[in-house]
Amino acid sequence: MKIMNYECIKFAVDERGVATLTLNRPNVHNALSAQLIADLQHVCDEIDCSSDIRVVVLTGAGASFCAGGDLAWMKSNMGQPRDQRIEESGYLSRLLNTLNKLSKPLIGKVNGIAFGGGVGMVSVCDFAICSDTATFGLTEVKLGLIPSTISPFVVRRIGEAHARRNFLNARLFNAQEAEVMNLVATVVPAAELDEAVEKEIALILKCGPNSISAAKKLIDYVATHSEEECASYTTESLADIWETDEAKEGIDAFFNKTKPNWIN
């Protein structure tokens, strides 16, 4: 087990290449501070550069996943010049974009409350598994704020109709509602959360790591480009993947009834 120490997060990688990224400010429900965001940004760069990491699990320490932005941090920004406030707001936006485009599969393990920016963090996971005791809310308007930097990712995940239902009133909603609006993929009893995440990890570890990365890029491209652009991109990307050693090994393993080298 490889463990790296940061001020506001825990980061560990096991012998399978499974990385666990834990928001570690439990006393404030893992609220997003400038330091926590900086720690996450740094570790994401490490993850993208590592050929040993196969999958990443994002979770929170203690009883909460993430309570959103740290209000003390937000309050300190209010007295700053406008250009400084814009710069500070950009930190979270850049982090969410980095997590969204992470080259490894990112599984959200939602162990408790996820409010505001916490919903944004869930939305940039490839998919999330949550405890049936988890509670969600886009609570910014209750404070006279708006869910601005998280909105591109949240609206893309839950759709405009659900965004209108939840951005405008700060209502709280439960895990079952989160599943209905596609914010989370699966809801399980709290005692079964670890097991449910492990089942998802096992599926990913059977697949080619480079093809997973290419598939993530494929999803992002086809979701944001025209049909004509997609036609060209998809045919070229398929031709490219056929030329990779990973594809050749996967096909050979299928016909020879052997295991490719990415399966231990």
d(CA 220, CA 74): 31
d(CA 180, CA 196): 18
pLDDT digits (tens, 9 = 90+) for 5-26: 899 999 999 999 999 999 999 9
126-158 exposure pattern, b = at least 16 Cβ within 10 A, e = fewer: bebbbbeebbbbbbbeeeeeebebbbbbbbebb
Number of domains comprising the chain: 2
Same domain, 149 and 216: no
**Burial class for 77, CB neighbours closer than 10 Å (0-12, 13-18, 19+):** middle
Q: Region 21-37: what's the mean pLDDT? A: 95
Answer yes or no: is 119 within a domain: yes
Amino acid occupying residue 220: D
Least confident interval from 55-64, 79-88, 234-243? 79-88
Same domain, 64 and 177: yes
Least confident interval from 11-15, 76-80, 253-257? 76-80
pLDDT of residue 4: 77
Q: Mean pLDDT of all residues in the chain?
A: 93
pLDDT of residue 77: 67
pLDDT of residue 76: 65
175 band by pLDDT with thresholds 50, 70 and 90: very high
Same domain, 97 and 165: yes
- CATH number for the domain spanning 89: value is 3.90.226.10
Same domain, 167 and 222: no
pLDDT digits (tens, 9 = 90+) for 120-161: 999 999 999 999 999 999 999 998 999 999 999 999 999 999
Same domain, 26 and 142: yes
Q: Region 102-129: what's the mean pLDDT? A: 97
H-run or E-run covering 57: strand 55-60
Answer yes or no: is 263 within a domain: no
- 220 alpha carbon, distance to own chain's centre: 14
Same domain, 150 and 227: no
pLDDT of residue 1: 73
For residue 220, what are the domain limits?
Answer: 209-256
- 73 pLDDT more than 90: no
